[in-house]
């Protein structure tokens, strides 16, 4: 039987958040390509080329997560780190090399890729589970607090970035770096608190549930997707020439 915090995450994460997030990302891509003047045929081809691998990744993560293959000790090799690294290594280089993606990135406001990560507030589920005695504090406190801060700051920083000032540009970079460091710290502490040869913390309460469904969908799908979005956001900020000129020049 699921505890309350897990049930809440399963409802929002599985039933609502992922479809809404994917729809927003694909819708933003379509709008960006339309603004860039890309023809309808190329727009559809690009959308299909992005949608099919994205959905295949999501389905694979769900199947592997529900089968328990990402639990500590389920495989002879550390499967969960690979589930994080492989999608980033595969998808991010392909995205930034695409002419259509680059045109769409240039055509939409840089604030969009920042604002969409407001979903990171759901990382607060780690704090709820820690308070209930279900997760070790060595993992839950940095992971949950960091995600909450990143999610809460997403909209204010997006608004600041939308002002197209140099201060807004700096805020956008700083938010992205903070978001990446938060995820890196959470992954590191998750790895070091999980039972196994690399465990260094939380020996009295090993971190076992983060590799179990539905929470496993955070490191298996949400974390690499967030890192990809951070990478695209930084790439977009670097490509935005308006920041090099006064806004009302």
Task: Please report whether residue 24 resides in a domain.
Answer: yes
Q: Does the residue 41 lie in any domain? A: yes
Q: Is residue 114 a part of any domain in this protein?
A: yes
Report pTM: 0.91
Is 19 contained in some domain?
yes
Task: Region of 71 please: left (phi>0), alpha (psi -120 to 50) or beta.
Answer: beta
What is the pLDDT, as a whole number, of residue 198? 80
Which residues, in sequence order, are CB contacts of 162 under 8 Å at separation 6+? 109, 110, 111, 168
pLDDT recorded at residue 33: 98
Distance CA 9, CA 215 (A): 7
pLDDT at 79: 87
Q: How many residues does the chain have?
A: 249
Give domain status of residue 249, yes or no.
no
The whole-number pLDDT of residue 74 equals: 81
How many other C-beta atoms are found inside a 10 Å radius of the C-beta of residue 2?
11
State the pLDDT at residue 72: 80
The tokens of 94 are what?
A: 């392909």
Rounded CA separation 186/80 (Å): 13
Q: Which domain holds residue 226?
A: 4-244
- The total number of structural domains that make up the chain: 1
The tens place of each residue's pLDDT in the chain, 249 residues long, gives: 445 555 555 544 445 788 899 999 999 999 999 999 999 999 999 999 999 999 999 999 999 999 999 998 888 777 888 999 999 999 999 999 999 999 999 999 999 999 999 999 999 989 999 999 999 999 999 999 999 999 999 999 999 999 888 899 999 999 999 999 999 999 999 999 998 888 899 988 999 888 888 889 999 999 999 999 999 999 999 988 655 544 433
Q: Is 39 exposed, middle or buried (0-12, 13-18, 19+ CB in 10 A)?
A: exposed
- Measure the CA–CA gap between 9 and 109, rounded to whole angstroms: 30
């Amino acid at each position: 039987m699921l505890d309350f915090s897990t049930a809440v995450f399963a409802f929002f994460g599985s039933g609502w958040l992922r479809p809404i997030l994917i729809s927003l990302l694909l819708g933003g891509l379509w709008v960006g390509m339309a603004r860039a003047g890309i023809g309808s045929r190329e727009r559809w081809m690009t959308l299909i080329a992005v949608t099919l691998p994205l959905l295949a990744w999501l389905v694979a993560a769900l199947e592997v997560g529900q089968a328990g293959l990402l639990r500590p000790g389920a495989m002879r090799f550390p499967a969960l780190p690979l589930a994080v690294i492989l999608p980033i290594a595969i998808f991010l280089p392909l995205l930034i090399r695409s002419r259509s993606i680059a045109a769409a990135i240039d055509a939409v406001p840089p604030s969009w890729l920042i604002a969409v990560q407001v979903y990171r507030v759901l990382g607060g589920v780690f704090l709820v589970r820690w308070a209930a005695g279900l997760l070790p504090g060595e993992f839950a406190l940095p992971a949950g607090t960091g995600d909450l801060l990143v999610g809460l700051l997403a909209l204010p920083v997006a608004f600041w970035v939308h002002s197209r000032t140099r201060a807004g540009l700096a805020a956008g970079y700083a938010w992205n770096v903070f978001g990446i460091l938060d995820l890196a710290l959470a992954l590191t502490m998750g790895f070091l608190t999980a039972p196994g040869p690399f465990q260094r913390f939380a020996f009295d309460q090993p971190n076992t549930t983060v590799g179990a469904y539905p929470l496993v969908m955070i490191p298996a799908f949400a974390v690499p997707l967030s890192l990809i979005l951070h990478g695209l956001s930084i790439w977009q900020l670097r490509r935005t020439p308006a920041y090099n000129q006064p806004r009302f020049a």
